[in-house]
Amino acid sequence: MSKNKLYMQSIFLISLIATLGSLYFSEIRQYEPCEFCWYQRILMYPLVLISIISVIRNDHGAVYYIRFMSLLGLLMASYHYALQKISFLGDGFTACTGVSCTVQYIDWLGFITIPFLSLIAFALIFILSFIPKRK
C-alpha cells in the first residue's frame, strides 16, 4: 500500500468520525445544531464521499477539493470556538437564528466543545491534505 493511499484513508477516517460524531450529538443526544454548526456540517459531510472515492479510484487530485473545504471549515470552526470561549466576542452575538451559536452543550476539561472537536478534525484533514504527492 502506498503512503498516499494511507493518508487519503486517514482523511476518510477522520471525516467519517467527525460526521458520525455530529450525527450522534444531534440525533442521539438531541442537541439542536446552531447555524454555524450547520455550515461546518455542510463542509464536513462531503469530505467523507470525496475522500472515499479518492481512495477507491486511487485519485489523489481530490486533495485540492479536500484542502479548500477543510480550510473553510477550519476558519468557520475557529470563529465558532472563539465565539464560545472569548467572552467579548460572544456577548451580544445575535447573528444566529434559532439556537445561539454561543451555547456549549459539552465543555469537557474546560475547553473541549463541539466546535473545538470540529476544529481539530478540519485541522487534521487540512494538514493531511498536503502530504499526498501527485504521481
Could you tell me the CATH number of the domain that includes residue 44? 1.20.1550
Domain membership of residue 7 (yes or no) is yes
pLDDT above 90 coverage of the chain, percent: 64
| Total domains, the chain | 1
User: Long-range CB contacts (< 8 A, 24+ apart) of 37-43?
Assistant: 37/80, 37/101, 37/114, 37/115, 37/118, 39/76, 40/73, 40/76, 40/77, 40/80, 40/115, 40/118, 40/122, 43/69, 43/70, 43/72, 43/73, 43/76, 43/122
Per-residue pLDDT of 5-45, as tens digits, reads 899 999 999 999 999 999 999 999 999 998 889 999 999 99
Domain membership of residue 101 (yes or no) is yes
Q: What's residue 108's pLDDT? A: 85
Domain membership of residue 9 (yes or no) is yes
User: Long-range CB contacts (< 8 A, 24+ apart) of 105-109?
Assistant: 105/25, 105/29, 105/31, 106/25
Structural domain of 39: 3-128
Indicate whether 134 pLDDT > 60: no
Domain membership of residue 37 (yes or no) is yes
* Main-chain phi, psi angles of 111, to 5 degrees: -145, -10
Q: What's residue 2's pLDDT? A: 76
Domain membership of residue 71 (yes or no) is yes
Domain membership of residue 133 (yes or no) is no
Non-local (6+) Cβ contacts of 47 within 8 A are 11, 15, 66, 69, 70, 125
Per-residue pLDDT of 78-98, as tens digits, reads 999 998 888 777 666 666 677
Single pTM value for the model:
0.90
Domain membership of residue 134 (yes or no) is no
Looking at every residue in the chain, the average pLDDT score rounds to 89
Rounded-to-integer distance, Cα 115 and Cα 74, Å: 10
Q: What's residue 5's pLDDT? A: 86
Domain membership of residue 25 (yes or no) is yes
Q: What is the mean pLDDT of residues 119-125?
A: 98
